[in-house]
């Protein structure tokens, strides 16, 4: 299916690996030009090189990269110095560490909120008016399934990402919607990434089980019997950025293999 976004420009955060890279790959496959951002220069440059080699010849997609911490003012300034007008923005920042809420001080909470709530808001604020003026815009925030089904050891993430969800619920339904700008949240469940390795290790330490036992137990609880893949996640992200998704905004799209059993 042609998603109708060839030649658009996308800013994809956290795109050196994992879910962010999955999104970048899916967009590049559609001929979307990319500015990918992550903190690690070596991994990011390698990802940019691979994206060019895999997709540029077939789709003509241009791939730029900027090794910066998008959660900082300086990092965002560096990104927007390279390019300011984006048709698509995929926000994504590493989740805060797992743990017991009794151990988190004010600094830990501020850091979590800054990275997982305020940074996406700053990126939205910096780009939506330009999108509206051009009559097309897609913002996809990578959040977490914990927004719908909180995870006990991820209290920092539960709180910060829920705050972003509330913000998006309002702004997505503002005057921006009538100007062709959609804002949606993409909620990953358990995907086979470095992040799952971190949370599995924490769960193993808490339960006294081995990492292998925890992985097997988690996958057994997912109706599909496995973790998701970054490629699967990226394809859904690309759809949310498409012309076909023009009537879809303010939504929380859950990708969890059927694990969530709630009613909302």
Dihedral angle, C-alpha 170, 174, 180, 186, nearest 10 °: 0
Q: What is the pTM of this model?
A: 0.93
Please state the φ and ψ torsions of residue 181, each to the nearest 5 degrees.
-105, 120
pLDDT recorded at residue 260: 86
In terms of Cα–Cα distance, which of 219, 182, 225 is closest to 203? 219
Q: Which residue has the tokens 């996809």?
A: 140
Q: How many CB atoms lie within 10 A of CB 85?
A: 12
Distance (Å, whole) CA 177 – CA 198 = 37
Cα atoms in the 13 Å half-sphere on the side-chain side of 90 = 35
Tens digit of pLDDT per residue, the chain (264 long)? 899 999 999 999 999 999 999 999 999 999 999 999 999 999 999 999 999 999 988 999 999 999 999 999 999 999 999 999 999 999 998 888 878 888 888 999 999 999 999 999 999 999 999 999 999 999 999 999 888 888 787 888 889 999 999 999 999 999 999 999 999 999 999 999 987 888 788 888 888 999 999 999 999 999 999 999 999 999 999 999 999 999 999 999 999 999 987 765
Answer yes or no: are the C-beta atoms of 258 and 148 closer than 8 Å.
Answer: no
Please give the span between the terminal C-alpha atoms of the chain, in angstroms, as a whole number: 30
Which residue blocks in the chain are alpha helix, DSSP H? 18-29, 41-51, 57-59, 73-82, 106-113, 119-134, 155-171, 194-207, 211-220, 230-240
């Amino acid at each position: 299916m042609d998603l109708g976004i060839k030649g658009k420009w996308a800013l994809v955060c956290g795109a050196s690996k994992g879910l962010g890279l999955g999104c970048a790959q899916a967009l590049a496959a559609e001929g979307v030009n990319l500015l990918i951002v992550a903190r690690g220069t070596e991994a990011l440059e390698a990802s940019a090189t691979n994206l060019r080699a895999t997709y540029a010849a077939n789709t003509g997609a241009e791939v730029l990269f900027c090794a910066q911490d998008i959660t900082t003012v300086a990092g965002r300034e560096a990104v927007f110095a390279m390019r300011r007008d984006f048709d698509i923005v995929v926000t994504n920042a590493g989740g805060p560490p797992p743990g017991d809420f009794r151990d988190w001080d004010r600094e830990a909470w501020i850091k979590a909120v800054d990275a997982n709530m305020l940074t996406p808001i700053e990126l939205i604020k910096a780009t939506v008016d330009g999108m509206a003026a051009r009559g097309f815009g897609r913002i996809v925030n990578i959040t977490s399934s914990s927004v719908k089904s909180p995870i006990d050891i991820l209290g920092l993430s539960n709180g910060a990402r829920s705050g972003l969800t509330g913000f998006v619920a309002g702004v997505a339904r503002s005057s921006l919607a009538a100007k062709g700008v959609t804002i949606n949240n993409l909620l990953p469940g358990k995907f086979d990434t470095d992040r799952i390795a971190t949370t599995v290790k924490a769960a193993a330490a808490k339960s006294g089980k081995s990492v292998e036992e925890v992985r097997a137990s988690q996958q057994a609880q997912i109706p599909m019997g496995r973790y998701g893949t970054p490629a699967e996640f990226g394809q859904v992200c690309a759809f949310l950025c498409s012309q076909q998704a023009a009537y879809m905004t303010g939504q929380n799209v859950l990708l969890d293999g059927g694990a969530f059993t709630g009613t909302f």
